[in-house]
Amino acid sequence: MKLSEKSVKMRLTAKSLLVLGALSAQSAAYIPGDNQQQPLVPGNPVSHYEVVHTHTAVEDAPSYRTPLLSLHRNLVNVPSISGSEGPVAHVLEKLLTNLNYTVQLQRIPSSADGDDAEPRYNVLAWPGTNSTRTLHGRVLITSHIDVVPPYLPYALNRTTIPPSEAVNFTALHPSTLISGRGSVDAKASVAAQITATNLLLESGALDPESVVLLFVVGEETSGIGMKFFSASLSNHSIFSPDPFGTSSSPSSQTPDRPQFKSAIFGEPTTSLLACGHKGITTLLLTATGRAGHSGYPWLGRSATSLLVRALNKLLDADLGSSERYGNTTVNVGVIEGGVAANVIAKEASARVAIRIAVGDQKTGAGVVVRDDGCELRDGRSNLEGDHVSYLYGPGSILVAHGDDEGLTVGELEEAVEGYKRLIKHAVEAS
């Protein structure tokens, strides 16, 4: 969007934000009593909400505590900021292989914005070393392995634990706080999903051919991992044992896009099944001015001043609200511009994320094209298909991305039990 001195008035209205409805973001919400966005557990402070535990004493620790917490620790210890997920993908590949999964790394092409410092991979895993590697009709259990910056080390009760230091996990109380970047969003979901799936498989309660695991990259930025996986399904035969064409001999089957029975997405929802979530749209606002000496501002045109005035209009606008999701909210995440304090800025830009609480996809699409004349890019879902979707995971979104990101041992264990129930329900549903 280009801004000139005479056109700083924003045209983004509530109706133009209908475009993404409530279908394409990760900020889960529950029914509040007013139009303010509510905590996922109302009435509790962000870092001190009540957690209900099945296991209330050290001696009641579940048998899977050590493998669960060891897996979670190993994942958090590996930095995996978006664009640099290669090492954590290899950690997962080795771990899942040792657990008798058939594992395939799906390499993601370099992104257009150039944030790829190294090779990065989605991790796809089928239970069993002799899996048919089919996808059609299975329940997809998925989350993401990338995190936001900066890296924060693994800690217990706010004390950093070096990777080389041994921890007696069975001696930990359920209220022990585990923190570090990704400890909630979303490596807690990854660890709990893998543990829950393994427990069901080991007990014979789950058919190995009924599920598949997928852990993607780039969720925190462009969603490239899930987009690439979804696009790859178009070349996948329903019955193909080689879903991404790694074999030198072509499949004799006619490609027929597989349909998952359902998909379980792991995101922090305080171990409550989400009833829905806000939509999202992102904007890149650019302003172009005329450079000059700051002592003679009338001889130039400040791009930063234009941008600030435009952003103020956006921040002050009423972009709509709903009883269920609260207000539509605006975050100005990145501002760039200018070269020096004594130079009138010629260029300036801002990256903005808007979480949309109103409207639906179909109505909003027409509004954007008809009323605003903008190009519409469909963002309803990065995973296409006619399947039931579930959103569930341990930890609170209110601490995700923050310096205090963390969850308790008890929360992580409760999520394992929750995923076990949810996976069984999804598999058995008609």
| CATH number of 293's domain | 3.30.70.360
Last residue of one domain, picked from the residues 372, 404, 419: 372
Q: Rounded to whole angstroms, how far apart are CA atoms 134 and 25? A: 28
pLDDT of residue 117: 58
Q: What is the mean pLDDT of residues 315-336?
A: 92
Q: Is the pLDDT of residue 423 over 70?
A: yes
pLDDT of residue 417: 97
The mean pLDDT value of the chain amounts to 81
In this structure, the dihedral spanned by the alpha carbons of residues 198, 202, 206 and 212, taken in order and rounded to 10 degrees, is 30
Q: Is the pLDDT of residue 245 over 70?
A: no
Give SS3 for 62: coil
Classify residue 379: in a domain, yes or no: no
171 — pLDDT class (breaks 50, 70, 90): very high
Best CA proximity match to 56, nearest among 405, 410, 398, 426: 410
What token pair was written down for 37? Answer: 């966005």
pLDDT of residue 140: 96
**Same domain membership, residue 197 and residue 334:** no
**Same domain membership, residue 405 and residue 352:** no
pLDDT of residue 257: 77
Q: Can the peptide bond before residue 62 be classed as cis, meaning omega within 30 degrees of 0?
A: no
pLDDT of residue 388: 86
Classify residue 119: in a domain, yes or no: yes
**Same domain membership, residue 213 and residue 72:** yes
Classify residue 381: in a domain, yes or no: no
pLDDT tens, position by position, 249-292? 334 444 567 889 999 999 999 999 887 778 888 889 999 999 99
Q: Is the pLDDT of residue 77 over 80?
A: yes
108 or 377, which is more confident? 108
109 — pLDDT class (breaks 50, 70, 90): confident
Choose from 15-29, 122-136, 162-176, 217-231 the range with maximum mean pLDDT: 162-176
**Same domain membership, residue 157 and residue 75:** yes
Q: Is the pLDDT of residue 427 over 90?
A: yes
Classify residue 386: in a domain, yes or no: no
219 is catalytic: yes
Classify residue 144: in a domain, yes or no: yes
Q: Give the least confident one: 152-166, 236-250, 279-293.
A: 236-250
For the chain, what is the domain count?
2
**Same domain membership, residue 200 and residue 134:** yes
324 — pLDDT class (breaks 50, 70, 90): confident
Q: What is the mean pLDDT of residues 229-234?
A: 86
In this structure, the dihedral spanned by the alpha carbons of residues 321, 325, 327 and 328, taken in order and rounded to 10 degrees, is -90
Classify residue 44: in a domain, yes or no: no
307 — pLDDT class (breaks 50, 70, 90): very high
pLDDT of residue 32: 33
Q: Give the least confident one: 33-47, 222-236, 259-273.
A: 33-47
**Same domain membership, residue 258 and residue 194:** yes
**Same domain membership, residue 314 and residue 201:** no
**Same domain membership, residue 316 and residue 258:** no
What token pair was written down for 47? Answer: 């870092």
Classify residue 357: in a domain, yes or no: yes
Which residues, in sequence order, are CB contacts of 383 under 8 Å at separation 6+? 140, 142, 226, 229, 230, 263
pLDDT of residue 42: 40
Classify residue 368: in a domain, yes or no: yes
66 — pLDDT class (breaks 50, 70, 90): very high
**Same domain membership, residue 178 and residue 261:** yes
CATH code for the domain of 422: 3.40.630.10
**Same domain membership, residue 301 and residue 251:** no
**Same domain membership, residue 222 and residue 79:** yes
Domain that holds residue 10: 2-26+278-372
What pairs with residue 155 in β-bridges?
Answer: 160, 179
Q: What is the mean pLDDT of residues 188-208?
A: 97
Which among 219, 220, 267, 405 is annotated as catalytic?
A: 219
**Same domain membership, residue 190 and residue 107:** yes
Q: Can the peptide bond before residue 150 be classed as cis, meaning omega within 30 degrees of 0?
A: yes
How distant is the alpha carbon of residue 291 from its chain centre?
Answer: 40
Choose from 91-105, 222-236, 248-262, 360-374 the range with maximum mean pLDDT: 91-105
Q: What is the mean pLDDT of residues 135-156?
A: 96
